[in-house]
Structure 1
Amino acid sequence: MSKRLSVVMIAKNAADLLPDCLASVAWADEIVLLDSGSSDNTLEVARAAGAKVFIDTDWQGYGIQRQRAQSFATGDYVLMIDTDERVTPELQQSLQSVLASPKPGAVYSIARRNYFLGRFMRHSGWYPDRVMRLYERERYQYNSNLVHESLECVNAEVINLQGDLRHLTCRDFASFQRKQLSYATAWAQERHQRGKKASIAGIFAHTLGAFLKTLVLRAGILDGKQGWLLAVVNAQYTFNKYTELWALNRGYSEKA
């Protein structure tokens, strides 16, 4: 008998993204959406599509919010996706094949194809950008990181699936930049709490390294104009992370 699948997602003010996302997983046994306090009609859109909707506005980071969302799922397997992601038909076939004949204990890696300023990137470290998103609900869950959370599955066998998860990473540059800044801030706060330090030399070394890594080591130059722009964006993001950590170390970014 095929295993039941719960598609699980967290959301906030994603009404414009949800219709295509939900349509791409409408074949799943259930869709669980945990909202963190939307002011648009995210809840209405989700319910109209048949999703099970829950609300928790006590935001403690992406990792904990994903744990909470998963707690509402009832399927044998969880497919964790974001509202700006879409399951392609080829990936759907791969997922259904796994559910029909899963390998106990294994987790499944999915290639994300990331969209940046009018182009689905093929290099720059943004493809295949594999993420572990399909797993047994009762065996695994996400860690508690504030940002850049990941699945806790040490020593698990990882199986690569065919088909892409399309990710609308950057449709609107201003919104993308705001999101990147919030990620950088959360990253710095988490590292600061763990006693990590940053120096001026380290800030610039990491920033330059991020630019060269994207453009040269990850062949971003083959992505044309977008590859060059993404290299700068990654360098900027890295600069923001380490500068905020440096400021926190010295008490320059403490809340009044």
Structure 2
Amino acid sequence: MPNRLSVVMIAKNAADILPDCLASVAWADEVVLLDSGSTDATVTIAQQAGVKVFTDENWQGFGKQRQRAQSYATGDYVLMIDTDERVSTELAASVKAVLANPQPDTVYSIARRNLFLGRFMRHSGWYPDRVTRLYARNSYRYNDNLVHESLDAPGAKVIQLNGDLLHLTCRDFSGFQRKQLSYATAWAQERHLRGKKVSLAGIFGHTFGAFCKTLLLRAGFLDGKQGWLLAVVNAQYTFNKYTELWALNHGYTEREQL
């Protein structure tokens, strides 16, 4: 008998994109959604779709929130996804094959195809963009990182699944920029707490490096106009996070007056 699957996700104000996400995983044994305080119809939509909905507004970062969400799951295996992702038909078939014949001490990585300004990118470091999302519930969990959290699975064998996870990374550019800025702030705060420092030269070195890495080393130019624009966006994100770290290193705050 195949193992049971829990699709697990965290959410906040995702009413506009949640229905398609849930439709893509309707075949799972259960879907668990942990809401962090939505003010739109996210919770209602999820409940009407038969999702097991829980709420926890004590936000302590993405890693902690994913751990909490997983604690509500009851399946043998967890497929962790986001509300702006969709499981393709080919990927669903791959997951079902794992459930029917899982391997011990093994986690499974999935290729994400990321949308940027109307184009699913094939280069620029945005594809295959593999993420480890399928794993045995009682054996593994996410780390505590505030942002850019990942599955903590030391020593586990990693197998690549066929099929893509479609990621609506940038449907709305202004919203994408706001999210990038919040990620940059969380990244800088976490590094600052660890005692990390950066110089002015380091800020510009990392920024220029991010542009060149995206456009040249990761062949972003092959993604056309979007590849060039993404190189600039990645450089901007890098500039923001290192500048925020520099400001924290020097004790500057938004309340300071000139």
3-state SS, counterpart of residue 28 of structure 1: coil
Q: Which residue of 1 aligns with 2:128?
A: 128
Match in the other structure for 1:32: 32
Aligned residue pairs total: 256
Which amino acid counterpart does residue 116 of structure 2 have in structure 1? F
Q: Which runs of 4+ in 1 moved over 3 A?
A: none
Counterpart Cα distance in 1 of 2:151 and 2:233: 26
The runs of 5 or more residues in structure 2 that have no matched partner are: none
8 Å contact from structure 1 (residues 248, 254) kept in 2: no
- Note if contact 1:244-1:253 (Cα within 8 Å) is conserved in structure 2: no
**Which 5+ residue runs of structure 1 have no aligned equivalent?**
none
Shift of 1:105: 1.3
- The structure-2 alpha-carbon separation of the partners of 1:254 and 1:195, relative to structure 1 and needing over 3 Å to count, comes to farther
With normalisation by structure 1, the TM-score equals: 0.99
Say if 1:255 and 1:165 are closer, same or farther in 2 by CA, change over 3 A: farther
The answer to whether structure 1 residue 152 and structure 2 residue 147 are counterparts is no
Shift of 1:104: 1.3
- Which residues of 2 match residues 199-210 of structure 1 at below 5 A? 199-210=199-210
Assess, with a 3 A threshold, how the Cα gap between structure 1 residues 255 and 130 changes in structure 2: closer, same or farther: farther
Alignment correspondent of 1:216 = 216
Counterparts of 1:249 and 1:211, CA distance in 2 = 24
Structure-1 separation of matches of 2:255 and 2:93: 49
Counterpart of 1:22, as a letter, is L
Which residue does the alignment assign to 1:6? 6
TM-score (norm 2): 0.98
Q: Which residue of 2 aligns with 1:165?
A: 165
Identity of aligned residues (%): 77
Could you say what secondary structure the match of 2:123 adopts? coil
1:139 offset after TM fit, Å? 0.2
Which whole-Å CA distance do the structure 1 matches of 2:166 and 2:209 have between them?
27
Contact 1:4 1:99 in 2 (8 A): yes
How much is the aligned-residue C-alpha RMSD, in angstroms? 0.8
Q: Deviations over 1:139-166 (max 9, x none)?
A: 0000000000000001110000000000
